[in-house]
Amino acid sequence: MSADVPSLRVTGLAYAYPDGHQALFGVDLAVARGERVALLGPNGAGKTTLVLHLNGILTGGRGTVEVGGLPVSKEHLPEIRRRVGIVFQDPDDQLFMPTLRDDVAFGPANLGIRGAELDARVTEALTAVGLADLADRPPFHLSFGQRRRAAVATVLAMRPEILVLDEPSSNLDPASRRELAEILLSLDVTVLMVTHDLPYAMEVCPRSVILSDGVIVADGPTPDILGDVDLLAAHRLELPFGFSAARMTR
């Protein structure tokens, strides 16, 4: 892929659910290769609807979505779903095999990858999240933080263009939050992180986008976004008590 082709380009995306609820009203968003972007916004803003368009789970609205220059359309869905890896909020939605190794191998094996190449993919993904020594452990024997990292590994094994994370810091203890942040910062992959955790957005993503009532209302450097108290208040976003975006950038 050419360096000037963005990992993600969303143009004029509008979508209404069958019950008539209009969730998106013409969203435009471009994310460059290797960028880490936080997608912020209140509940009901349209964040999930947008994310479900990125790998073709939702289709049929107006506008276009391209991943690495490839349109998200029916004929391209297998490749799109390899390119866009979604890590869900509950890791148990993605871990269902007898061992961690089996879980991480599942996606690539479905692509027809076998033998030494499959083993290399599994080792590479587990090493990236710091779990290579637990490859033969049943997932339900892992801590919650380890399962969250294991879910990331199942996606990394597909070698995606974009890693989409839904509330990755939720329910993690402080050490697990830090470990996951360090992993995300080390990955050579485009990251789109959906989160209500504004300090985590600050830690991981240099750029933030606010989606509110189905439209993008702000897009810029995360310190600028989080430093605009009136903007946050207008869209039901709140910093923790005592948190200062300005202080974190010094």
Amino acid at 164: V
What per-residue confidence (pLDDT) applies to 250? 43
What per-residue confidence (pLDDT) applies to 60? 81
* Pairing, β 162-166 against β 84-87: parallel
Whether pLDDT at 248 is above 70: no
C-alpha span between 237 and 167 (Å, rounded): 15
137 phi and psi, to 5 degrees?
A: -85, 140
What per-residue confidence (pLDDT) applies to 240? 87
Instruction: Tell me the pLDDT of the chain averaged across its residues.
Output: 93
C-alpha span between 154 and 152 (Å, rounded): 6
Domains of the chain: 8-98+162-248 (3.40.50.300)
Q: How many CA atoms lie within 13 A of 160 on its CB side?
A: 30
Q: How confident is the model at residue 61 (pLDDT cuts 50, 70, 90)?
A: confident
Give pLDDT tens digits for 117-162. Answer: 999 999 999 999 999 999 999 999 999 999 999 999 999 999 999 9
Q: State pTM to two decimals.
A: 0.93
Give pLDDT tens digits for 158-208. Answer: 999 999 999 999 999 999 999 999 999 999 999 999 999 999 999 999 999
Whether pLDDT at 249 is above 80: no
Give pLDDT tens digits for 15-24. Answer: 999 999 999 9
Whether pLDDT at 247 is above 60: no
Give pLDDT tens digits for 64-100. Answer: 999 999 999 999 999 999 999 999 999 999 999 999 9
